[in-house]
């Protein structure tokens, strides 16, 4: 099954339209800097957290560079979810000059 992929320019436009973005990196990576509006669901938790993904809307998936999010996309697509992988991941987002959010640490 082929997974649709988009670049960060297209992602930015979709986020402006209210798209749902899931970040599948580890919590420490997410805390250090993520795309604004992203929800964290680490790759290892995806199979147990299917309720975090929309069954009716497109789920945009991102990680550091695009590899982990592609694995998550394949897993979710096999379960019938509409998914799109972000080429280049968070690194491409940052390289494009777009801001990231940093979570406060306790």
pLDDT of 18-54, one tens digit each? 999 999 999 999 999 999 999 999 999 999 999 999 9
**pLDDT at site 49:** 97
- What is the average pLDDT across 5-30? 97
> Would the pLDDT of 106 be above 80?
no
**pLDDT at site 96:** 97
Q: How many percent of the chain have pLDDT more than 90?
A: 95
Cβ count within 10 A of residue 53 = 20
Q: Locate 94 and state its tokens.
A: 């940052």
Strands of the chain (E only): list them.
4-6, 20-23, 39-40, 59-62, 83-86
**pLDDT at site 34:** 97
Q: Locate 29 and state its tokens.
A: 């990576």
Site of tokens 């000059």: 97
**Complete domains list, the chain, with CATH:** 4-95 (3.40.250.10)
């Amino acid at each position: 099954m082929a997974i649709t992929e988009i670049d960060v320019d297209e992602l930015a436009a979709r986020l402006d339209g209210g798209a749902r973005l899931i970040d599948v990196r580890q919590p420490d990576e997410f805390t250090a800097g993520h795309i604004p509006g992203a929800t964290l669901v680490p790759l290892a938790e995806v199979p147990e957290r299917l309720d975090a993904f929309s069954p009716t809307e497109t789920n945009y998936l991102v990680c550091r560079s695009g590899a982990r999010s592609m694995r998550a996309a394949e897993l979710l697509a096999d379960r019938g979810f509409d998914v799109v992988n972000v080429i280049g991941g968070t690194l491409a987002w940052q390289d494009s000059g777009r801001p990231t959010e940093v979570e406060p640490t306790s």
